[in-house]
Chain A
Amino acid sequence: MPSDVNKGVAPSSKPKFWNDPDKRALLFQILMILTVLGFFAYIISNALHNLETRGITTGFDFLSQSAGFEILLHLIPFDATFSFGRTFVVGLLNTLLVSFLGVILATMLGFIMGIARLSDNWLIRKVATAYIEIFRNIPLLLQILFWYVAVLQPLPMPRQSIEFGAAFLNNRGLYLPAPVFESGFSVVLIALAAAIAATVMLVRWNRKRQDATGQRFPVVWTSIGLLFGLPLLAYLLAGSPVSWDYPALTGFNFKGGATVIPELMALLIALSVYTGTFIAEIVRSGILAVSSGQSEAAQALGLSKNRTLSLIIVPQAMRVIIPPLTSQYLNLIKNSSLATAIGYPDLVSVFMGTTLNQTGQAIEIIFMTMAVYLTINLIVSMLMNIYNKRMALVER
């Protein structure tokens, strides 16, 4: 028998501090903070030294210097005399423009293809499957370059433009007639606002009535009638206060109307086609996630096929669809930065590209650009969380 068993000293109730998980954790965390701080101190001192030897002054003073370059597309007034700070805003707005349009187009395409993939029609199903399997397995950058270099650039010169009614397509872009609003147009806007307010009230009233009596009012058709009819009526009563500015060929190019530059078109097509494949898969899995018992129960209650879809399937499917859909939207916004490959003047291209090259303020510019994307990300995820809380199943 080992002798030390009986040797008497009761084991100390206090373990050595390296055996105490709490103290060890504390020590480890302090060490980690020190390491991280040390790492940052090291790279910052390196950066300061390197900047000094290269003669770059840090700080955000460059934002007020004049830019000295033109930007292809600007939603707010801009020319070479404006400041570098203005280039940041112009780039940001262009990013938001292409993201906004891309989100709308990708959602439409994705929902159509996702539903088509579940269609009873063999041909439609196969076409949707082929679309999804082909386009999601090809890099987005390649698709952007393909549309820009291989499709839009070889289009004919302005003189030989392809005509679609009053619109013209050539290698300088798509020229559309632009509406010109005349003085009486505010009446139409007021009518539209009134129609929206009426629709909201109608929906609320219908919900209350349905809760009380179980009867439903054809809300969808009346709202569509209100939303389109009321502005149309106002438009006609005010004597059609909109005229159209048609693009016309003068000299070597078109003048007038609205222009969609080919860079924007290529980026938009590629982004929505690529993201649409992912959205289609999300929609399909969302619809499949609603168990077949739900639609059978709806049938047993005697609901029509459309009612089953709009009252039973879609609300439940949306709960599954929305979270991954949002992350696809975020991906689309981030992917819009690939614009820089074809020269669409988005934030990365204008600010991180041209402005960085002109000023050399790498650290400030890269941090500002990253901060923009991070902020967009945070805002969208916050909205997402709010939505999720509202939509979450109330479990009893």
Chain B
Amino acid sequence: MIINDTKLPDLPPPASTSGVIGWLRINLFSTPFYSVLTLVVGYLLWSTLIPAFQWIFIDSDWVGDSRDACTSGGACWVFITVRLDQFIYGFYPESEYWRINILFGMLALLIAALIYEGTPKRGLIAAFTLVIFPIIAFYLLYGGSFGLMLVETHKWGGLSLTLVLALVGIVASLPFGVLLALGRRSQMSVVRSFCTVFIEMWRGVPLITILFMASVMLPLFTPEEIDFDKLLRALIGITLFQSAYMAEVIRGGLQAIPKGQFEAADALGLSYWKKMGLIVLPQALKIMIPGIVNTFIALFKDTSLVLIIGLFDLLAIVQAALSDPKWLGYSIEGYAFVAFVFWVFCFSMSRYSQYLELKLHTGHGAR
């Protein structure tokens, strides 16, 4: 009798389920239908992406100062590089570019500090960013005091204007949004119905009509002596629009706070504003951050609509550059550049908000 005490070594898994072939079989060719689909889609991708890649990177021209530099038949990025300053700073005087640079440098630092979880006193930094920083930003951008040259708003443009519109829109709409959301959940029927009508009205109409309204009707509604400039009118429209959306995000956050918190605050004898300010809103705001980031993404994309009322944001300034007779025919390059810039901003923000959502979901037993 033969007894083998030593265990025989495991056989390797069959070749069809492991390694490259196994992966291909499982992921690309599992059924005949999928095999056909893989081949068709693969062919389509191959025949579009390779030429696109060549056009963008290999056959393209990057350096030069006029369209004569574009000789290799691919994308003419010279169009972008020559006008990059204008696309970023608009018609801002060149000697004052440092002001925009400092401003957005500061903003980047503040945001980095807010995102990084180890930063001490994040609450204080957030308050600074929301309250004091906008004031600094206004004096830095507009000038006219502290020995800075006055730069009128019609000279603002490009990416910096896009950022100004989006940031002012979000920061200004936050307090209105909080008030509207509280109002919509108020016990007082007049306040509640007023806030509901206000929110639903602005959410029910397209942003364009609001921008038109702000640019055409606002001058009619104010006394003749007061003259809003175009940018301010757009900002008022954007803020009205955005605060309605913000209110709904904040309402969602308020509804997520358990009833016990409200009741406990009432039991302690806190007044309405103390209850909201000390107990409810601090908890609600934390869970609302992903929602706020998402509305910010939407707003950031929507700022491109100011093109229609004649402001020169990033898209509008590129659009204007496309009709320059010296650079006719480079519309794909122009739009691709704008798309890339918007995409980088929006994609990174949406990733951040997804990360926050994941982080918030753990540790909350309720979900």
Interface residues, chain A, with chain B CB atoms under 8 Å away:
25, 28-29, 32-33, 36, 43, 46-47, 49-51, 53, 120-124, 127, 133-134, 136-142, 145-146, 149-150, 334-335, 337-338, 340-341, 348, 352, 356, 362-363, 366, 369-370, 373-374, 377-378
Given A32-B194, A338-B206, A374-B201, 6 other A-B residues pairs in contact with their CB atoms under 8 A: A46-B223, A50-B220, A123-B37, A138-B342, A139-B302, A348-B212
The interface bits of chain B over 319-349 (1 if a CB of A lies within 8 angstroms of the residue's CB, else 0) are: 1001000000001100100110011001100
Known: A28-B188, A47-B220, A150-B332. A124 touches B319 (CB 8 A): no
A-side contacts of B216, CB under 8 Å: 356, 362, 366
- Range, interface on chain B: 35 or more
Known: A43-B221, A46-B220, A137-B342. A145 touches B319 (CB 8 A): yes
A-side contacts of B302, CB under 8 Å: 139
Interface residues, chain B, with chain A CB atoms under 8 Å away:
27-28, 30, 34, 37-38, 41-42, 45, 187-191, 194, 200-201, 203-209, 212-213, 216-217, 219-224, 297, 301-302, 304-305, 307-308, 315, 319, 322, 331-332, 335, 338-339, 342-343, 346-347, 350
Q: Does more than half of chain B's interface fall in helix, strand or loop, or is it mixed?
A: helix
B-side contacts of A373, CB under 8 Å: 204-206, 209
Residue among B28, B204, B222 with the most chain A CB within 10 A? Answer: B204
Contact of B335 among A43, A121, A150, A348 (CB under 8 A): A150
Evaluate contact between A53 and B224: CB separation under 8 angstroms.
yes
Residue of A nearest to B305 (CB): A141
Evaluate contact between A32 and B191: CB separation under 8 angstroms.
yes
Residue of B nearest to A31 (CB): B190
What is the bound-complex CA distance between A29 and B193, given in angstroms? 11
Evaluate contact between B346 and A137: CB separation under 8 angstroms.
yes
- B281 to chain A minimum Cβ distance, whole angstroms, is 20
Evaluate contact between A25 and B187: CB separation under 8 angstroms.
yes
What is the bound-complex CA distance between A137 and B300, given in angstroms? 10
- B3 to chain A minimum Cβ distance, whole angstroms, is 43
A-side contacts of B207, CB under 8 Å: 334
Contact of A340 among B187, B189, B208, B331 (CB under 8 A): B208
Evaluate contact between B38 and A121: CB separation under 8 angstroms.
yes
Contact of A369 among B209, B307, B339 (CB under 8 A): B209
Evaluate contact between B220 and A363: CB separation under 8 angstroms.
yes
What is the bound-complex CA distance between A373 and B315, given in angstroms? 26
A-side contacts of B220, CB under 8 Å: 46-47, 50-51, 362-363
- B357 to chain A minimum Cβ distance, whole angstroms, is 12
Residue of A nearest to B226 (CB): A46
- B338 to chain A minimum Cβ distance, whole angstroms, is 6
Evaluate contact between A370 and B187: CB separation under 8 angstroms.
no
Evaluate contact between A123 and B208: CB separation under 8 angstroms.
no
A-side contacts of B301, CB under 8 Å: 137-140
Contact of A142 among B204, B206, B338 (CB under 8 A): B338
What is the bound-complex CA distance between A126 and B170, given in angstroms? 33
Sort A-B residue pairs by CB-CB distance and give the 6 closest, nearest first: A122-B27, A137-B346, A377-B204, A29-B190, A334-B206, A43-B221
Evaluate contact between B30 and A121: CB separation under 8 angstroms.
yes
What is the bound-complex CA distance between A245 and B59, given in angstroms? 45
- A324 to chain B minimum Cβ distance, whole angstroms, is 13
B-side contacts of A46, CB under 8 Å: 220-223
What is the bound-complex CA distance between A127 and B45, given in angstroms? 9
What is the bound-complex CA distance between A134 and B34, given in angstroms? 24
B-side contacts of A137, CB under 8 Å: 297, 301, 342-343, 346-347, 350
- A86 to chain B minimum Cβ distance, whole angstroms, is 21
Residue of A nearest to B45 (CB): A127
A-side contacts of B342, CB under 8 Å: 137-139, 142
A-side contacts of B343, CB under 8 Å: 134, 137-138
Evaluate contact between B205 and A370: CB separation under 8 angstroms.
yes
What is the bound-complex CA distance between A51 and B221, given in angstroms? 10
